[in-house]
Amino acid sequence: MSEIHSQKCNLNIWYYMPDEVWAKVAAIYERMPSWIGYTNGIPYWFGQEEDEVFIMASVEPSGLSFYAEMSDREWSSWIKRFKREATEALGFEVGEPEDGFV
């Protein structure tokens, strides 16, 4: 079994983007592997904080923020897919501001 690690990622999907963008993001959430839905407005995949493996997202001033507890391999695959699907759906390259995506 793969070792579980804390994972974090901020993306250049900003809180002030129009509602049309956020509607597309919500649709992407639901298409992602292991989507389980919203709890108290927070989207989750795989499980929730009390579970060994989970992903959650929140909208922060720094961008769309993901926090996860899972193996590096699973996380890398999942977040790459999210970035790819978001780039296609939103019409701009989605990535981490720290890597120059604005």
Domain span at residue 31 reads 5-99
Quick count: other Cβ atoms within 10 Å of Cβ 90?
17
Task: Please state the domain count of the chain.
Answer: 1
Q: What is the CATH number of the domain that holds 91?
A: 3.30.310
| DSSP-assigned letter for residue 87 | H
* Burial class of residue 84 in the structure, from the number of CB atoms within 10 Å of its CB (0-12 exposed, 13-18 middle, 19+ buried): exposed
Q: In this model, does residue 45 exceed pLDDT 70?
A: yes
What pLDDT digit, counting tens, does each position of 48-67 carry?
999 999 999 999 999 999 99
| Count of residues making up the chain | 102
* Confidence tier at 76 by pLDDT (50, 70, 90): very high
pTM value?
0.94
